Structure 1
């Protein structure tokens, strides 16, 4: 297990290093100069040069990259060009929207996917199974932002059950805040629930065909008792792996959904910073999201290896 963990840690470090290089390079080649954007078209060359020196934009790119990476390793994400405040403070404020949204969507996708997968597996070949599998095909094929717009059209504009956008704030109470996150969470959860339902159905069907399930039935257990006592427990192993990986996808998926619903989270912060050419904010926030995704995948690998020793022997 130690050897497996060390290999995964090495892979994590390499992935983070490559990700930081790619993020920095992509943002650096994007057109537009932050200093010129801040001062306008009629800025004097001397003023422009002074601002670039103040922001550190006149330094060589290699030096700027190393300073950026070194700052992140020490917990310093830099200072926003536009707001002149630490990026870490801006991120801390937005996390209280993005993380609850991702967790809310994860709970919804897990409940929907689990129940739909079990329902389809138990009714294999029946009308219910066909309907569930057809719905999951749509859920996988249609992007979350389309679901988001349809939810706004139906539940916000026509039925007026929810607000079309914005965030009530946690200071107004738990339920008003959760109400603001409900439609965005549903939009995020639908596609992930569809994937989870298909995995759950496939895993459960594989378990139901095993010899020990027939033995359980031969000992007098009813189909429902055999399913809940033996079938689900063994079918959940690959499903739990998918659930862990889905959380990282949901964190990344909040970038688009927050823009649709005007939520003041990390995703909207990225869009605002791109518009303002606030490069340090874009680089740091995107890197944090990539870091979260890679670390979550690493933890899922370690947890799965702890449950299934065969993975440790293969590497």
Structure 2
């Protein structure tokens, strides 16, 4: 197992290198000049030239990349061109907010999706199976922004049970934090729950039709042991992959939900940086997001081995 993890870590080095080149290259293909944005409405040529020299925008792209990559390796992601704040400080401020929201959303998705998928497979072609599939399809098809607005109208405006938006750290007030994040987490989690349910159902149907399950039943084991110990353990592999990828998507793709519920998270930081042509912030944020995706894939590989001992050989 340690040998496998070591090989995966070695493979991360060229992957991260190509990702960094891609991020830097595509960022400079975006239309617009950050120096013109920073210069303001007057756009004095002298000021524009000073800005380009200050941030190295007047140098060739290969030199800009080497300088940026050298700083990244030393832990310096640069400084925001717009608000003059270190990019690392911005990421450390915004990432925990979205991470908290993503963990709650994934917990909701797993608590709903996995048991529903198992029940749907066990009760195949029964009324329960049809109801679960309809509800799962509805969860996938419902737009996040619409569901978020409906929840705000119901629980915040009409009933007054929950706040309409904002964010409270769990380390400040746990109860207020849960109240502020439960609705956006539910909005994000329901769509993922539908996807996880369908994948779990498909994997469970294949597992329940396999020879080792028939053998377990022939030995007289209870149906609960057959389903949860034998079939479920082997059906977890695609669910682990999906969970890792969806968690990465939550970290980078919760923009609309954060906007609706006024949550100052990672998604809003990315959007603002793109609109303001803030190269340093965009590069730093996308690099961190890509690194998280790669790390989640590594964790998924480890999860395969823990869930299915046969893969250890």
Offset of 1:143 from its aligned partner? 4.5
> Equivalents in 2 of 1:146, 1:10: separation in Å?
44
- 1:261 paired residue number: 261
Offset of 1:207 from its aligned partner? 2.6
> Equivalents in 2 of 1:14, 1:145: separation in Å?
38
> Residue 307 and residue 125 in structure 1: after superposition, are their counterparts in 2 closer, same or farther (change >3 A)?
closer
Question: CA contact under 8 A between 1:68 and 1:77: conserved in structure 2?
Answer: yes
User: Is 1:187 aligned to residue 177 of structure 2?
Assistant: no
Matches within 5 A, 1:32-181: 32-170=32-170, 172-181=172-181
> Residue 55 and residue 237 in structure 1: after superposition, are their counterparts in 2 closer, same or farther (change >3 A)?
closer
Secondary structure of the 1:282 match is helix
> Residue 255 and residue 297 in structure 1: after superposition, are their counterparts in 2 closer, same or farther (change >3 A)?
farther
Range moving further from structure 2, 186-195 or 238-247: 238-247
Range moving further from structure 2, 38-47 or 67-76: 38-47
Matches within 5 A, 1:222-261: 222-261=222-261
TM-score, normalisation: structure 2: 0.87
Over residues 19-45 of structure 1, what are the superposed CA-to-partner deviations in whole Å (9 max), with x where a residue is unaligned?
Answer: 222222222122222232223221321
- 2:288 paired residue number: 288
> Residue 8 and residue 256 in structure 1: after superposition, are their counterparts in 2 closer, same or farther (change >3 A)?
farther
Over residues 106-153 of structure 1, what are the superposed CA-to-partner deviations in whole Å (9 max), with x where a residue is unaligned?
Answer: 111111111211221222101110111122223334444443344334
Secondary structure of the 1:97 match is helix
- 2:275 paired residue number: 275
> Equivalents in 1 of 2:205, 2:181: separation in Å?
35
Over residues 41-98 of structure 1, what are the superposed CA-to-partner deviations in whole Å (9 max), with x where a residue is unaligned?
Answer: 2132112212222232222222112211221121111111122121111111112201
> Residue 70 and residue 144 in structure 1: after superposition, are their counterparts in 2 closer, same or farther (change >3 A)?
farther
Question: CA contact under 8 A between 1:196 and 1:239: conserved in structure 2?
Answer: yes
> Equivalents in 2 of 1:228, 1:308: separation in Å?
13
> Residue 296 and residue 181 in structure 1: after superposition, are their counterparts in 2 closer, same or farther (change >3 A)?
same
The number of aligned residues is 313
